[in-house]
Chains A and B, each alone.
Chain A
Amino acid sequence: MTQDLRYSALKKTPFHSRTSLASRTNKYYNWNGYTVPTEYSTTELEYTAARNGTSVMDLTPMGKYEITGGHAHQFVDYLVTRDLSEMKDNTVAYIIWCNEDGKVIDDGTIFKFSSTKFMLCCAVKIYNWLNDSAYGFDVTISDVTDTIAALAIQGPTSCSTLKTFGATDLETLKPFEMREYKIDGFDILISRTGFTGDLGYELWTDPKNAELTWDNIEIAGKELKLRPFGMNALEMTRIEAGFIQTNTDFMAAEDSLRPTRMRSPYEIGMGWLVHLNKNSYFVGKKALKKEKEESTTERCLVGLDIDGDKPAHGSVIYNSKKEDIGIVTAALWSPIMKKNIALASLKRPYGIQIKENIFAEIYHPEELEYRKIWARCKVVKRQFFNPERRNKVPADLYE
């Protein structure tokens, strides 16, 4: 059904009839011009489903761009910092891309169908960036955000749910692989990817197939603790997984007004995605090479294990002399880890050479009054939660 969009400020996703039915709280937010639930019932319950059963999230608003043409592979390799020259068909790769100053614009995933067809997914809109970058390459960029309905199916029982739904032999799919299925007469692409740091899949199909898919997955997951989950629960899981969020953990280079707020990959823990020895040029290579050679990296993004149980939302981080050395970008009391964790952007050498005597100043709200807590922090790996089942092949199955 085509919607009359003339008077609606925000678009509805093809799953809207189902997500609105599942919503008990009427809490929605604007994601790339779509209205999608922040929370369906309670965030904690949704989080629990993601960690113990299956969680379903409407991913449709995520920016999706199809890159086709003779130079598609070459172009993708040029666009991102990671060396993708050896990328195989039907695989997915996690990527970041930078501007000419070597500052990160966004992160995302790239799907390779063939050397002439790719799909790029990311949180923000980057059509203009892609198009301007593509000048001189034989590629066509099309924004397919509205023409592909997408769901995230995450959690320990997600493989079983999708198998019951009709995805035969799904357990053999390795992490960062994808496979085409024909289910109920519709083409469905399933990739073993996700943003929760757990076993999980993402599902891509025609918007016409959206409602049917949602209904059938709900039926398939009935006995497997399936629950729709919203952005708030996703935020909890992604912090536990140590995944970064653009404009939360760092400012997108194209969006930040102050040049000093832009971050290089090395400053947000993404140095492993920068391949300076890549044979060909990539956007930002010159600047990144210089940064590496001259060791001018100023900050770092680290995981913090914080004393106590009060989440350090937005806390300023200090050294023992009470000098300001950074800020918490995301924080959470992790139910599964039973730990008070946070991601923090610190001024080097703190977080790299100096990991001791770091403190967070936490303002804990208690009924219109703040309790000020001075909590000791331990610098730890950003990936707080990384269960074995996440990368296990074949994936765990449940009945």
Chain B
Amino acid sequence: MSGNSSFDAIIIGGGHNGLVCANVLARKNKRVLICEARKECGGMVNNDITNYVPPVTSAVSSSIGGMQINYIPKTSIALSETGQHIRLVGNQHIDHKSISRFSSHDADRFNDFHEKMSKFSKTLGSFMMASPPRIMNNSFSDYFKLFKLGLNVRLLGKKNFNEFARMIGLNIADELEDNFENTLLQGLIAHDSVIGSNLGPRSPGSLINLLYRMAIHNNSLFGGIFQIDGGNDQFTKHLIEKCKSNNVEIKTSASVKNCIIENDCAVGVELNNGEKMYAKKIISNADPRSTYFSLLGSQNLDTDVKRKIKHHRSKGRVAKLILELDKLPSFNNCDDIDLDSRMVIAPSIDYIEETFNPSKFDKLSLEPTLEICVKKDSDQDPKLDIQVQYAPYKTHQGWENIKESYVESIIKIISKYAPNINECIERKKLLTPDDIESEYNVSGGHWHHGEIQIDQLFMMRPIPGASQYKTHLDGLFMCGAGTHPGGGLIGISGKNAAKAVLDDF
């Protein structure tokens, strides 16, 4: 059948990785079809989900023939109930000055801390951009890659090597408490270490989360955080335009039921409406769990593969609250520039940990950790776009019964910083991880299609044996955030997957 395929490749899911992958393939003269289940492409690069993005790397950008996107750098503010906010921009001198207003000790420490973290994130990052080695593959290039990572770590020098080894499994709270005395500063950095993950600041491994975040944010703690000029839709629009000019066919509202398998090889896809399409290669931009259990089908999987996918951790812990306002609330001691910044409500490590604790038991915290983005386009009513950390994927009482009270508790927290918030609200919309799962077809509603943790990184991402964008089924590939290096809207997975597919032609 694959002999008379009408396409070279079918990509299941038109998220940004799918779009990047399609463009790379199309630029190598491959006929590509994208099947997107939703009415429009873009997936979670959506104003409803994402507020801030890291910049797309030049490697990704050049692989699709350049990206004309304007990135607007964003300042971060740790809000304090007393109005003593900390503002950080990602510039060594400015940040030193702002921190020294609270503690000169912390300010000096911050520079050293930043330098050390930056060095380690670079080491990690050097390994992140390429396809990961596959263990037990016995291929020379794979061993060489592994050797290179080892060498990069070793080249840090003995002192740094020991420090790197110490930090790899460490929790961020210990490291921050060792360095800083200001709890607000501790809270802000801890927040960025755990956001999007299933970890509290005191959970082992929360530090590597921060290194990962820094690796995709210009190796900086606060310097690589951007918004896209014109909204995230611009990013998607741009990629779709590229698709058009590269003759990529895009089919929306085309939900794929399963892969068509012939002679133990993926040869096409069947849509929910029964329509069948064939291609030489099938690429899934869906999360690993959906890819394996829905597209591939559990009757086509070895038991051990099922076990690995079942172990794959992909429960989301971030909810999104959108407050539509008729006027902007006034935040205590914040000016207009502050309102344009990324505002974080995470006043201390303990505060975050207290928020985290109930989520372990699928319960809600009434004092959630928040990241607030104020949206005030001149032609539209203002909005508060709020990331709510540690909203459990499922709750014991059922989300529908407690959504309203949860929203109220979030607003109550905000009112401590913006007392008149209640008067400004017109409409409220809460997207729980559960909602994200069903609306965006992402198992568990996880931002990154799976936890960014040591057991699910590099050659173990998403699972051992499927680490080079290949699945266990010949002809079926993966290009989503569930693959190495992971989520964060950077498009590297899409680009690397395209290379793996091209190598297989």
Contact = CB atoms under 8 A, between A and B. Distances in A.
Interface of A: 74, 78, 99-100, 129, 132-133, 135-137, 280-281, 283-286, 289
Specify which of A74, A100, A137, A283 lies most central, judged by the most chain B CB atoms within 10 Å of its CB: A100
B310 interface: yes
B299 interface: yes
Nearest to B303: A133
B299 A281 contact: yes
Contacts of A280: 299
A138 to B, nearest CB: 11
B264 A285 contact: yes
B293 A136 contact: yes
Contacts of B306: 132-133, 135-136
A272 to B, nearest CB: 21
B263 to A, nearest CB: 10
15 contacts: A100-B303, A132-B303, A132-B310, A133-B306, A135-B298, A135-B310, A136-B293, A136-B297, A136-B301, A136-B306, A281-B264, A281-B300, A281-B301, A283-B303, A286-B472
Contacts of B472: 286
Given A133-B306, A286-B264, 17 more contacts: A78-B299, A99-B304, A129-B303, A132-B303, A132-B307, A133-B303, A135-B298, A135-B310, A136-B297, A136-B299, A136-B301, A136-B306, A281-B264, A281-B299, A283-B303, A284-B302, A289-B264
A106 to B, nearest CB: 13
Contact of A137 (B299, B302, B305): B299
A133 B303 CA distance: 5
A99 B307 CA distance: 12
Contacts of A74: 299
A99 B304 CA distance: 7
8 nearest CB pairs, A to B: A136-B298, A100-B302, A100-B304, A133-B303, A281-B300, A135-B306, A283-B302, A283-B303
Contacts of B302: 99-100, 283-284, 286
Interface string B305-342: 11100100000000000000000000000000000000
A318 to B, nearest CB: 31
Nearest to B302: A100
A160 to B, nearest CB: 44
Specify which of B297, B298, B305 lies most central, judged by the most chain A CB atoms within 10 Å of its CB: B298
A196 to B, nearest CB: 32
Contacts of B293: 136
Contacts of A289: 264
B305 to A, nearest CB: 6
B398 to A, nearest CB: 25
Contacts of A137: 298-299
A47 B367 CA distance: 76
Contacts of B303: 99-100, 129, 132-133, 283
A135 B293 CA distance: 10
A99 B300 CA distance: 13
A286 B301 CA distance: 10
B493 to A, nearest CB: 24
Interface residues of B, number: 15
Contacts, number: 40
A290 to B, nearest CB: 11
A62 B304 CA distance: 25
Nearest to B294: A136
Given A74-B299, A135-B298, A137-B299, A100 B305 contact: yes
A100 B307 CA distance: 11
Interface of B: 264, 293, 297-307, 310, 472
A132 B472 CA distance: 17
Nearest to B304: A100
A137 B300 CA distance: 11
Contacts of B300: 281
Nearest to B136: A259
Contacts of B310: 132, 135
Nearest to A71: B299
A133 B305 CA distance: 10
B204 to A, nearest CB: 27
A285 B303 CA distance: 11
A60 to B, nearest CB: 27
A137 B293 CA distance: 11
Specify which of B299, B301, B306 lies most central, judged by the most chain A CB atoms within 10 Å of its CB: B299
Nearest to A259: B136
A129 B299 CA distance: 15
Contacts of A99: 302-304
Contacts of A78: 299
Nearest to B297: A136
Nearest to A75: B299
Contacts of B304: 99-100
Nearest to B293: A136
A177 to B, nearest CB: 29
A279 to B, nearest CB: 10
A289 B302 CA distance: 14
A133 B300 CA distance: 11
A115 to B, nearest CB: 16
A74 B301 CA distance: 14
B100 to A, nearest CB: 57
Contacts of A129: 303
A289 B305 CA distance: 17
A29 to B, nearest CB: 30
B471 to A, nearest CB: 11
Nearest to B299: A78
Nearest to B474: A286
A74 B300 CA distance: 12
Contacts of A285: 264
A78 to B, nearest CB: 6
A129 B302 CA distance: 11
Contacts of A135: 298, 306, 310
Contacts of A136: 293, 297-299, 301, 306
Specify which of B300, B303, B472 lies most central, judged by the most chain A CB atoms within 10 Å of its CB: B303
Specify which of A99, A137, A283 lies most central, judged by the most chain B CB atoms within 10 Å of its CB: A283
B304 to A, nearest CB: 4
A205 to B, nearest CB: 32
A130 to B, nearest CB: 9
Specify which of B298, B301, B302 lies most central, judged by the most chain A CB atoms within 10 Å of its CB: B302
Contacts of B297: 136
A96 B81 CA distance: 67
Contacts of A284: 302
B312 to A, nearest CB: 13
Nearest to B309: A135
A133 B304 CA distance: 8
A99 B472 CA distance: 14
Contacts of A133: 303, 306
Nearest to B261: A281
Nearest to A285: B264
Nearest to B300: A281
A99 B301 CA distance: 11
A58 B304 CA distance: 34
B154 to A, nearest CB: 29
A285 B293 CA distance: 18
Contacts of A100: 302-305
Specify which of A132, A281, A289 lies most central, judged by the most chain B CB atoms within 10 Å of its CB: A281
A109 B59 CA distance: 57
A380 B2 CA distance: 46
Contacts of B299: 74, 78, 136-137, 280-281
Contacts of B307: 132
A316 B307 CA distance: 38
A284 B300 CA distance: 10
A127 B305 CA distance: 18
A88 B82 CA distance: 78
